[in-house]
Structure 1
Amino acid sequence: MSALGAVRGGVNRVLRPFGVQVVRGHSDDPAIQPYVSARRTRAAARRAGVSVEDYLDRWSAAPGATAETVDALLRLADLGEHVERVCEIGAGSGRYAARVIAATHPDTYEIYETAEDWLPHLRSLPNMVEQPTDGHTLSATATESVDLVHAHKLFVYIPLVVTLGYLDEMARVVRPGGAVAFDVVNENCLDDAMTKNWVSSGATIYGMISRTWLLDRMAQRGMSLLGSHFIPLSGGQTELLVFRRV
């Protein structure tokens, strides 16, 4: 079995109780990971009589975590009364996007998404702009042009080198005074219960990054940490980090 197949199998073992599964994306680039099938997820949501966003949230390992994440992000970012432009990497089902848009009413909401089957659903979001996506950069977004750039449950799965490239891009596109937000697994997430759970379940799908090293790297790129919030992850937790561009 290929490494990609092993990752897909591990993710599907986690997701199987929730009635969704991971399938291959449209790109042959190994840095672009598999994703949750839009067709199967939308069908399951219809059967349950709820929206896709609510389905994924309610049937996740931690119902309510989506709202908790967005509330923490917006509280820490303190974006003010008017947000002109937001950019999200890996918008997926749109469950974070829908809440951010409802709270901030941006003039433009840019998305970078490699999963083509989710794009019709994402195109229904207000003021959405679908950017051409290469799985590595935010090349279609101008430097210092967005008030908020964010990503959720993305950097815990993709290769470290891809994460680092995206972090540099996030620092590039955010305007002075704007906010950068994302979650990672770091040493503050790895308590004894979490590590025992991951070892016993063979959870090989997650990647870790040093918090101290990451904060130093972001500081070198003009990012000041505003605060953080721990977010549930299947079998553990991630840390949402929110920065201000100084």
Structure 2
Amino acid sequence: MSLQTAIRDGINRALRPMGVQVVRGYSTDRAIQPFLSAHRTETAARRAGLSIEDYIDRYSAAPGATAETVEVLLRLADLGDHVARVCEIGAGTGRYTARVIGALRPDVYEVYETAQDWLPRLRALPNVIIQPADGHTLRATRTASVDLVHAHKVFVYLPLVVTVGYLEEMVRVVRPGGVVAFDIVTDNCLDEPTTKAWVSSGATLYGMISRSWIVDLLARRNLSLVGGHFVPLSEGRTELLVFRRD
């Protein structure tokens, strides 16, 4: 059994009581293949009498976490109530997508998602364009073309080199004055109870990145930190960071 298979099976054992599982996406990159099954997640949410957003929040974060995250993002981004173009990496269930579309009413909303079974749900949202996703780049998006490029609960699970590659792409596609936003597990997210909980549960799927290192990296690319906000994560938290392109 490969390490990737062992990790995926371990995650599925932990998720089984909740009625969800991870499956392979269509990327060939082993680092970004596991995803929640759309069919099983939607079925479990219906049985629980909950929306997809509320169901995911309940088991992986905290009730209302998605709505709070988007509210903070929009407040810090200060983009008004209409933009031309938004790009989201790893939109998945579309729970952040739908809220951002409702608030910003973009003319075009580009989505990069490697989990094919969620794509029909994403295509049904207003003005969404599904871009070809390779798990590394935003190659179909023009340079300096988007008002907002964001990702949620994505970089938490990716190797550092993949995350940094995506950050470079976010820098490339955002227009001057536009906003880059994402959440990561920073050193500020860690305390002794959290690390003990992750060690005892074998939570090997999370990766930590130095906050100051990320801020300095993006500052050298003319992105200024606007603000941050802690977001609940299973047995811990991530930090949403919002940057504006100078």
Q: Say if 2:232 and 2:238, in contact at 8 Å, map to a contact too.
A: yes
Q: Supply the distance in 1 between the matched residues of 2:38 and 2:167 (Cα, whole angstroms).
A: 27
Q: Say if 1:10 and 1:205, in contact at 8 Å, map to a contact too.
A: no
Q: Supply the distance in 1 between the matched residues of 2:101 and 2:10 (Cα, whole angstroms).
A: 32
Task: Give the match for residue 9 of structure 2.
Answer: 9
Range 7-16 or range 60-69, more displaced: 7-16
Matched, 1:244 2:244: yes
Task: Give the match for residue 31 of structure 2.
Answer: 31
Q: Supply the distance in 2 between the matched residues of 1:20 and 1:233 (Cα, whole angstroms).
A: 17
Matched, 1:62 2:56: no
Q: Say if 2:86 and 2:148, in contact at 8 Å, map to a contact too.
A: yes
Task: Give the match for residue 145 of structure 2.
Answer: 145
Matched, 1:103 2:97: no
Q: Say if 1:77 and 1:179, in contact at 8 Å, map to a contact too.
A: yes
Task: Give the match for residue 40 of structure 2.
Answer: 40
Structure-to-structure mapping, 1:74-93, within 5 angstroms? 74-93=74-93
The 3-state SS of whatever aligns with 2:30 is coil
Gaps of 5+ in 1: none
- Relative to structure 1, the CA distance from residue 39 to residue 73 in structure 2 (aligned partners, 3 Å threshold; closer, same or farther) is same
Structure-to-structure mapping, 1:138-177, within 5 angstroms? 138-177=138-177
1:182-231 Cα offsets, whole Å, 9 max, x none, are 00011101111101111111111101111111111011111100000000
Range 148-157 or range 12-21, more displaced: 12-21
Aligned pair count reads 246
Q: CA deviation at 1:27?
A: 2.6
The 3-state SS of whatever aligns with 1:240 is strand
Q: Say if 1:156 and 1:208, in contact at 8 Å, map to a contact too.
A: yes
The 3-state SS of whatever aligns with 1:139 is coil
What residue identity is the alignment partner of 1:184? I
Q: Supply the distance in 1 between the matched residues of 2:226 and 2:61 (Cα, whole angstroms).
A: 27
Range 135-144 or range 19-28, more displaced: 19-28
- Relative to structure 1, the CA distance from residue 135 to residue 86 in structure 2 (aligned partners, 3 Å threshold; closer, same or farther) is same
Range 59-68 or range 116-125, more displaced: 59-68
Task: Give the match for residue 227 of structure 1.
Answer: 227
1:120-179 Cα offsets, whole Å, 9 max, x none, are 111111100010111110000000100000000000101111101000000110001010
Q: CA deviation at 1:47?
A: 2.2
Task: Give the match for residue 51 of structure 1.
Answer: 51
Q: Supply the distance in 2 between the matched residues of 1:164 and 1:63 (Cα, whole angstroms).
A: 30
Q: So what's the TM-score if we normalise by structure 2?
A: 0.96
* Pairwise CA RMSD: 1.3
- Relative to structure 1, the CA distance from residue 2 to residue 223 in structure 2 (aligned partners, 3 Å threshold; closer, same or farther) is same
What residue identity is the alignment partner of 1:95? R
Q: CA deviation at 1:14?
A: 4.2
Task: Give the match for residue 117 of structure 1.
Answer: 117
Q: Say if 2:185 and 2:237, in contact at 8 Å, map to a contact too.
A: yes
The 3-state SS of whatever aligns with 2:29 is coil
Q: CA deviation at 1:5?
A: 1.5
Q: More helix by proportion, 1 or 2?
A: 2
